[in-house]
């Protein structure tokens, strides 16, 4: 996936992973040390800007790794 500034696309991928592996927001919240409501807000894009550290924590909580690839524009 090429990221072009829409964080909602990344959250959709995390939502699909949640469904595929039957992970709920309570489990994610516990893993992240956050409230269930905070996790819900993050996944629904209701928190404004999200940090890279938070994205990494979300990915870890669903058993995934976040990979970023930077390439020079042609």
Residues with Cβ within 8 Å of 28's Cβ and at least 6 positions away in sequence, in order, are 18, 39, 58, 61, 62
Q: Is 69 part of any domain? A: no
Residue 5 confidence (pLDDT): 63
Q: How far is Cα 70 from Cα 62, in angstroms, rounded to an integer?
A: 24
Residue 1 confidence (pLDDT): 45
Q: Is 66 part of any domain? A: no
Q: Is 68 part of any domain? A: no
Range of the domain at 18: 7-61
CATH of the domain at 36: 1.10.260
Count of domains in the chain?
Answer: 1
Instruction: Give the HSE-up count for residue 51: Cα atoms under 13 Å, Cβ half-sphere.
Output: 3
Spatial contact of 61 and 32, defined as CB atoms under 8 Å apart:
yes
Q: Is 1 part of any domain? A: no
Q: How far is Cα 2 from Cα 20, in angstroms, rounded to an integer?
A: 22
- Per-residue pLDDT tens digits of the chain, which is 74 residues long: 445 567 888 889 999 999 999 999 999 999 999 999 999 999 988 877 788 899 999 999 999 998 888 888 88
């Amino acid at each position: 996936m090429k990221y072009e500034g829409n964080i909602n696309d990344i959250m959709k991928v995390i939502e699909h992973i949640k469904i595929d592996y039957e992970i709920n927001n309570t489990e994610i919240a516990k893993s992240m040390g956050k409230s269930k409501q905070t996790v819900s807000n993050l996944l629904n894009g209701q928190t404004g800007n999200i940090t890279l550290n938070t994205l990494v924590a979300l990915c870890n909580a669903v058993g995934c790794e976040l990979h970023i690839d930077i390439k020079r524009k042609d």
